[in-house]
Amino acid sequence: MARGPVREQAILNATIELLGEVGYAALTMDAVAHRARASKMTIYRRWQGKPELVKAALDARDAASVAAVPDTGTLRDDLLAALSMLCAQVDEGYVTMMTGLVHAMLVDAGLAAALRSHVADEDLGPFRTIVERAAARGEVPMDASAERAHQVAEGQIVRRVILGRPLDQDFLTDMVDNLLMPLLTRTFPGGS
């Protein structure tokens, strides 16, 4: 197995895969080491424990998603592209992973702290980059809230998943046109 960044990425990928397959409670460092073809010692040298490893895996996954969001040239199209990419990742494994993590953080203070830190890091979501680009193009005010847009989008996606409704293009277009664009541009239909 390669060393350095390649090995680290294999460990992080194995962590995400196993979280999606077995959930947090059943995730073990042994299983991660076996899946990544690394030693437990290698894992523990880099991460203090399971909560830190899970946070690092989620951080890496989200950072890769943000890096892949294209600059389409318009706020609306950037939002649609980013949300399409994010929703494409919301499969059965992702839902298993996230529900397991939310449940586990109720009884594991270390995991709760790690996940709160992950969720609070706005650089791990696409909205800051998208809003900064839009502000530079003059499409939104300089003080447009990427955080608020992120919260609205995430809330809508979670609600849709809970209701068992598809995260399809109609849903995304409606959310972008009727929630996110007015929120970010401060131009509300029928209002001032």
Residue 1 — very low, low, confident or very high, per pLDDT cuts 50/70/90? very low
Read off the pLDDT of residues 36-55 as tens digits, 9 standing for 90 and up: 999 999 999 999 999 999 99
First to last CA, the chain: 60
Residues 65, 39, 37, 96: is their CA dihedral positive or negative? negative
Instruction: Write the single-letter amino acid at 148.
Output: R
Confidence of residue 189 (pLDDT cuts 50, 70, 90): low
SS3 142: coil
Radius of gyration of the chain (CA): 18
Higher pLDDT among residues 23 and 51, named by residue = 51
Distance of CA 11 to the CA centre of its chain: 18
Residue 39's CB: how many other CB atoms inside 10 A? Answer: 12
Is the domain spanning 5-185 CATH 3.10.20.600? The answer is no
Half-sphere exposure of 110 (CA within 13 A, CB side): 9
Q: Determine the distance from the C-alpha atom of residue 192 to the mean position of all C-alpha atoms in its chain, rounded to a whole number.
A: 33
Q: Which pLDDT belongs to residue 121? A: 82
pLDDT digits (tens, 9 = 90+) for 130-181: 999 999 999 999 999 999 999 999 999 999 998 999 999 999 999 999 999 9
Residue type, 170: D
d(CA 15, CA 33): 9
Residue-wise pLDDT for 10-20, tens only, equals 999 999 999 98
3-class DSSP state of 191: coil
Instruction: Give me the phi and psi of 89, to 5 degrees please.
Output: -85, -15
Whole-prediction pTM value? Answer: 0.82
Instruction: Please state the φ and ψ torsions of residue 108, each to the nearest 5 degrees.
Output: -125, 100
Annotate 52-111 with three-state secondary structure: HHHHHHHHHHHHHHHHHCCCCCCHHHHHHHHHHHHHHCCCHHHHHHHHHHHHHHCCCHHH
